[in-house]
């Protein structure tokens, strides 16, 4: 990679040469030109960073919507230390803007009085916080042990086909459909092996699902309809059925569940 | 016919049990009222310790003992409920929180009183959005009714409870990584000691317990340690909600007394493998537990018996593989999970999980040499005990056990001349149509 890439094509200052030390008001673009969180070109080229350590943005610089600000402030007030609100604040940003946009992260950083890089470091650690745009509806298909045994890979394939997403990409981090409506991703264990094979559709669990169900769900999502209510985890009773005759020790006990 | 012994899951399908009104009608919050009005923290601690209740999250450490490690005196102490259930095969906490959130809240309130904590958190994995919403609503109800907040039930104790959602990282179930995540950082495990009981959240003494452990607390306080010890075995008292999944006909959560034969769980309650199939191997305690084979089906399902059989009870999650499942593929699936979830802080885990995946991929593609199996085994040995947390060990133990117990099956793959298995498929087909397997009705 040439030394010019990533800084807009300008000449690189030699080491020791004075540079403009004020951090730019807009974040640096990603070297590969894709949207997403900015990357310091120094990380790619291996040169010394060109900017001062990032400072905390001021509220007037970031144009944070008042309700988002209030919400994040409310979240911070729940904890003895405001930093604890970083994951919840990033969830708020993601729900509002669809993903953790650079602007949204800066807004949250300004409210929380932390650097955007701090929040980026948190966002990039967690699978559910997206640092790149993704489809409006998310379908996470479990491909871990129990679901794999019962056809999780095939279910992922069926969702990809129905949604028009690239199957190889979906199995390695997720893929969005061309129209940006659907996002399909293979996922590690979602904690619903009893529903295997299953998927988390817009953060609600459904299973067990067949290939036809996948097509139905994609159709329902695109049409804005309720997703397969009969396969919803919310309605699922205990696997062992209704309570049998209680054990005498349980029957005569005190406390909850009498 | 094996029967469940439902204590925590009793009335779980009662309509509206997630609401305070119904929970109270069925005897809920009586234990908390008794604890806050009549009991001293030390009395509760003693009761918990005497009950022999062991942690249900994986390690199986005595809950009462853990709570007693917190220093006494006036200082900021914390209680964290670990609801970051992310171990493949485990889904019992999901059920407990979804069906009976107030049972957990009551347990937290009593445990917080015993430990002297004024601030409690439920760290729930971000994927459990439905359960998080249910908990949010239940916590709001409990505040409203005075079971949480300032001067709980007219006592001098305050208790704040916050439901904190994670964002998708298995490592946050490790207690010190959970603390880092709760402090708003990347979830990296910390060096121990100091243990969280001495220096945990925000540097203060912190008690961390699993959802199921805390859900047991109201029952113990209401009925006493002796009553609780009437269930289960001497070293593993109580009931256990066991998640059974994989190649069984009725996967799901079953609450049983600890110590029943494992066969009763797999073949009795869960219906066993589909017709014509046999149990080949099973993880007795989630994907971190060394696998056992069909020879071990009669091992009692208790902490001590599982340890004696060379495995562990862990979180109490059984994944069954029948004779259609390729063990090499299962090992690869397992290794991939830990590779993906390794936080990268310690080298043996970061590199070891990576190389194990690469080598197992070569094995299933038929490209490996016999030496590779020995390397796989030695990598596992070199991970165990060499990291800050047990995530690496959690891959090394099951993968090591599979190579050891099913070595001929691995060797068969090596002896073949060309690619034997497609990378993502398995030997057996889908075990059956989901309609016949999954539905509980």
Flag whether residue B245 sits within 8 Å of chain A, measured between CB atoms: yes
How confident is the model at residue A26, as a pLDDT? 54
CA atoms of B81 and B423, how far apart (whole Å): 39
SS3 A33: coil
How confident is the model at residue B418, as a pLDDT? 53
CB-closest option in A86, A144, A237 to B184: A86
> Across all residues in chain A, what is the average pLDDT?
88
Name the residue in chain B with its Cα closest to that of A141. Answer: B127
How confident is the model at residue A9, as a pLDDT? 39
**Which residues of A fall within a CB distance of 8 Å from B270?**
239
How confident is the model at residue A48, as a pLDDT? 73
Contact between A249 and B26 using a beta-carbon 8 Å cutoff: no
Quickly list H helices, B73-146. 92-99, 101-115, 129-144
CA atoms of A75 and A72, how far apart (whole Å): 5
CA atoms of B251 and A207, how far apart (whole Å): 12
Give which of B347, B314, B233, B327 is closest to B61, Cα–Cα.
B314
Please state the CATH superfamily assignment of the domain spanning residues A26-132 in this structure: NADH-quinone oxidoreductase subunit E (1.10.10.1590)
Give which of A207, A144, A199, A126 is closest to B286, Cα–Cα.
A144
How confident is the model at residue B428, as a pLDDT? 33
SS3 B40: coil
Flag whether residue B312 sits within 8 Å of chain A, measured between CB atoms: no
Return the minimum-mean-pLDDT range out of A48-52, A185-189, B53-57, B341-345: A48-52
Instruction: Examine the domain organization and report whether B81 and B179 are in the same domain.
Output: yes
Instruction: Examine the domain organization and report whether B371 and B316 are in the same domain.
Output: no
Q: B166 and A126 in contact (C-beta within 8 Å)?
A: yes
- Domain region containing B210: 20-228
How confident is the model at residue A29, as a pLDDT? 66
CATH number, domain with residue B279: 3.10.20.600
Q: How far is CA B239 from CA A48, A158, B273, in A?
A: 59, 40, 24
CA-based nearest distance A43→chain B, Å = 19
CA atoms of A109 and A176, how far apart (whole Å): 28
- Quote the ipTM score: 0.92
CB-closest option in A83, A234, A246 to B130: A234
Give which of B92, B238, B6, B95 is closest to A257, Cα–Cα.
B6
Instruction: Examine the domain organization and report whether B250 and B269 are in the same domain.
Output: yes
Instruction: Examine the domain organization and report whether B312 and B292 are in the same domain.
Output: yes
Q: A189 and B88 in contact (C-beta within 8 Å)?
A: yes
CA-based nearest distance B66→chain A, Å = 24
Q: Kindly state the tokens that stand for B401.
A: 């056990």
Instruction: Examine the domain organization and report whether B29 and B97 are in the same domain.
Output: yes
For residue A12, is pLDDT > 70? no
Q: Kindly state the tokens that stand for B161.
A: 């409870």
Instruction: Examine the domain organization and report whether B335 and B315 are in the same domain.
Output: no
CA-based nearest distance B94→chain A, Å = 7
Bridge-based pairing of strands A199-201 and A137-142 is antiparallel
B7 in any annotated domain: no
Instruction: Examine the domain organization and report whether B196 and B305 are in the same domain.
Output: no
Cβ-Cβ pairs closer than 8 A, A with B, add up to 258
CA atoms of B419 and B403, how far apart (whole Å): 19
Q: A146 and B89 in contact (C-beta within 8 Å)?
A: yes
pLDDT band at A70 (very low <50, low <70, confident <90, very high): very high
Contact between B430 and A154 using a beta-carbon 8 Å cutoff: yes
How confident is the model at residue B36, as a pLDDT? 97
For residue A39, is pLDDT > 80? no
B4 in any annotated domain: no
Contact between A91 and B167 using a beta-carbon 8 Å cutoff: yes
For residue A46, is pLDDT > 90? no
CA atoms of A205 and A195, how far apart (whole Å): 9
Tokens 């562990």 correspond to what residue? B312
**Which residues of A fall within a CB distance of 8 Å from B137?**
none
Chain A interface, best mutation among B2, B24, B164, B167, by max A CB count within 10 A = B167
pLDDT band at A2 (very low <50, low <70, confident <90, very high): very low
How confident is the model at residue A33, as a pLDDT? 72
Count of domains observed in chain B: 3
**Which residues of A fall within a CB distance of 8 Å from B245?**
146, 193-194, 196
CB-closest option in A188, A195, A197 to B170: A188
B81 in any annotated domain: yes
B8 in any annotated domain: no
How confident is the model at residue B440, as a pLDDT? 34
B53 in any annotated domain: yes
CA atoms of A160 and B119, how far apart (whole Å): 45
Four-residue CA torsion sign, A255, B48, B236, B213: positive
Strand partners, B119: B78, B160
A128-162 tens-digit pLDDT: 999 999 999 999 999 999 999 999 999 999 999 99
Four-residue CA torsion sign, B257, B259, B261, B267: positive
DSSP label of B188: -
Contact between B10 and A243 using a beta-carbon 8 Å cutoff: yes
CA-based nearest distance B430→chain A, Å = 5
CA-based nearest distance B125→chain A, Å = 9
Contact between B100 and A257 using a beta-carbon 8 Å cutoff: yes
Exposed/middle/buried for residue B89 (C-beta within 10 Å: 0-12, 13-18, 19+): buried
Name the residue in chain A with its Cα closest to that of B288. Answer: A145
Name the residue in chain A with its Cα closest to that of B121. Answer: A79
CATH number, domain with residue B207: 3.40.50.11540
Helix H or strand E segment including A211: helix A211-223
Contact between A188 and B30 using a beta-carbon 8 Å cutoff: no
Instruction: Examine the domain organization and report whether B316 and B333 are in the same domain.
Output: no
Instruction: Examine the domain organization and report whether B281 and B391 are in the same domain.
Output: no
How many Cα atoms are found within 13 Å in the side-chain-facing hemisphere of A244?
Answer: 13
Give the residue extent of every domain in chain A: 26-132, 137-233
Contact between B10 and A84 using a beta-carbon 8 Å cutoff: no
For residue A225, is pLDDT > 90? yes
B344 in any annotated domain: yes
CA atoms of B374 and B376, how far apart (whole Å): 5
A41-69 CB burial, b ≥16 within 10 A, e <16:
beeebeeeebeeebeebeeeebebeeebb
pLDDT band at A27 (very low <50, low <70, confident <90, very high): low
CATH 3.40.30.10 fits A137-233, yes or no: yes
How confident is the model at residue A47, as a pLDDT? 74
SS3 B298: coil
Instruction: Examine the domain organization and report whether B316 and B335 are in the same domain.
Output: no
Q: A201 and A176 in contact (C-beta within 8 Å)?
A: no
B430 in any annotated domain: no
Question: Residue B173 CA to chain centroid, in angstroms?
Answer: 9
B424 in any annotated domain: no
pLDDT band at A18 (very low <50, low <70, confident <90, very high): very low
Tens digits of pLDDT across chain B (441 residues): 788 999 999 999 999 999 999 999 999 999 999 999 999 999 999 999 999 999 999 899 999 999 999 999 899 999 999 999 999 999 999 999 999 999 999 999 999 999 999 999 999 999 999 999 999 999 999 999 999 999 999 999 999 999 999 999 999 999 999 999 999 999 999 999 999 999 999 999 999 999 999 999 999 999 999 999 999 999 999 999 999 999 999 999 999 999 999 999 999 999 999 999 999 999 999 999 999 999 999 999 999 999 999 999 999 999 999 999 999 999 999 999 999 999 999 999 999 999 999 999 999 888 888 888 999 999 999 999 999 999 999 999 999 999 999 999 999 888 775 555 544 444 333 333 333 333 333
């Amino acid at each position: 990679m040439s030394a010019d890439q990533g800084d807009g094509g300008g000449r690189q200052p030699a080491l020791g040469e004075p540079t403009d030390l004020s951090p730019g008001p807009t974040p640096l673009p990603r070297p590969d030109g894709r949207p997403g969180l900015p990357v310091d070109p120094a990380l790619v080229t291996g040169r010394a960073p060109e900017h001062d350590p990032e400072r905390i943005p001021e509220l007037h610089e970031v144009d944070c919507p008042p309700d988002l600000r209030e919400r994040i402030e409310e979240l911070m007030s729940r904890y003895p230390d405001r930093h604890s609100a970083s994951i919840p604040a990033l969830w708020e940003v993601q729900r509002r803007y669809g993903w953790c946009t650079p602007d949204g992260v800066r807004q949250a950083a300004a409210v929380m009085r932390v650097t955007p890089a701090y929040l980026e470091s948190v966002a990039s650690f967690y699978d559910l916080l997206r640092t790149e745009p993704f489809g409006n509806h998310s379908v996470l298909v479990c491909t871990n042990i129990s679901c794999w045994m019962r056809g999780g890979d095939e279910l992922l394939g069926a969702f990809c086909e129905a949604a028009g997403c690239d199957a190889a990409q979906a199995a390695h981090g997720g893929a969005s459909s061309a129209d940006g409506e659907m996002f399909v991703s293979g996922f590690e264990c979602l904690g619903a092996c009893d529903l295997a094979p299953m998927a988390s559709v817009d953060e609600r669990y459904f299973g067990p699902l067949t290939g036809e169900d996948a097509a139905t769900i994609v159709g329902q999502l695109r049409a804005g309809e309720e997703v397969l209510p009969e396969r919803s985890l919310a309605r699922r009773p205990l696997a062992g059925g209704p309570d049998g005759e209680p054990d005498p020790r349980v029957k005569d006990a005190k406390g909850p569940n009498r | 016919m094996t029967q469940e012994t439902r204590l925590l899951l009793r009335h779980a399908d009662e309509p509206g049990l997630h609401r305070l009104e119904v929970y109270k009608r069925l005897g809920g919050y009586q234990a908390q009222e008794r604890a806050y009005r009549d009991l001293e923290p030390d009395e509760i601690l003693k009761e918990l310790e005497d009950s022999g209740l062991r942690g249900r999250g994986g390690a199986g450490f005595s809950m009462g003992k853990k709570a007693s490690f917190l220093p006494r005196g006036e200082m900021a102490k914390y209680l964290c409920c670990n609801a970051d259930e992310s171990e493949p095969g485990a889904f019992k906490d999901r059920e407990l929180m979804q069906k009976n959130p107030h049972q957990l809240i009551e347990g937290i309130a009593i445990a917080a009183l015993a430990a002297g904590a004024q601030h409690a958190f439920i760290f729930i994995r971000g994927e459990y959005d439905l359960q998080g919403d249910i908990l949010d609503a239940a916590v709001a109800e409990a505040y409203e009714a005075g079971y949480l907040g300032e001067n709980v039930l007219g006592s001098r104790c305050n208790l704040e409870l916050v439901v904190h959602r994670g964002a998708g990282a298995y490592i946050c179930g490790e207690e010190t990584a959970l603390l880092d995540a709760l402090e708003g950082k990347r979830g990296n495990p910390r060096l121990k000691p100091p243990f969280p009981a001495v220096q945990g959240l925000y540097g203060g003494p912190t008690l961390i317990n699993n959802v199921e452990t805390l859900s047991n607390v109201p029952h113990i306080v209401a009925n006493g340690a002796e009553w609780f010890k009437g269930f289960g075995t001497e070293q593993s008292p109580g009931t256990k909600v066991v998640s059974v999944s994989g190649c069984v006909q009725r996967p799901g959560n079953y609450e049983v007394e600890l110590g029943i034969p494992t066969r009763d769980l797999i073949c009795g309650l869960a219906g066993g493998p589909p017709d014509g199939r046999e149990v080949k191997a099973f993880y007795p305690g989630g994907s971190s537990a060394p696998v056992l084979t069909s020879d071990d089906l009669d091992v009692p399902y208790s902490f001590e018996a599982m340890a004696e059989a060379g495995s562990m009870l862990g979180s109490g999650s059984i994944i069954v593989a029948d004779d259609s499942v390729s063990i090499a593929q299962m090992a690869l699936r397992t290794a991939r999970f830990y590779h993906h979830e390794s936080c990268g802080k310690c080298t043996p885990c970061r590199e070891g999980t990576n190389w194990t995946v690469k080598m197992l991929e070569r094995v299933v593609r038929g490209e490996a040499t016999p030496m590779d199996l020995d390397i796989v085994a030695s990598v596992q040995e070199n991970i165990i005990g060499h990291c800050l947390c047990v995530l690496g060990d959690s891959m090394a133990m099951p993968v090591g056990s599979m190579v050891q117990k099913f070595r001929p099956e691995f060797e068969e793959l090596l002896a073949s001349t060309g690619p034997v298995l497609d990378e993502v498929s398995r030997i057996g087909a889908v075990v059956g149509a989901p309609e016949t397997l999954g539905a509980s009705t």
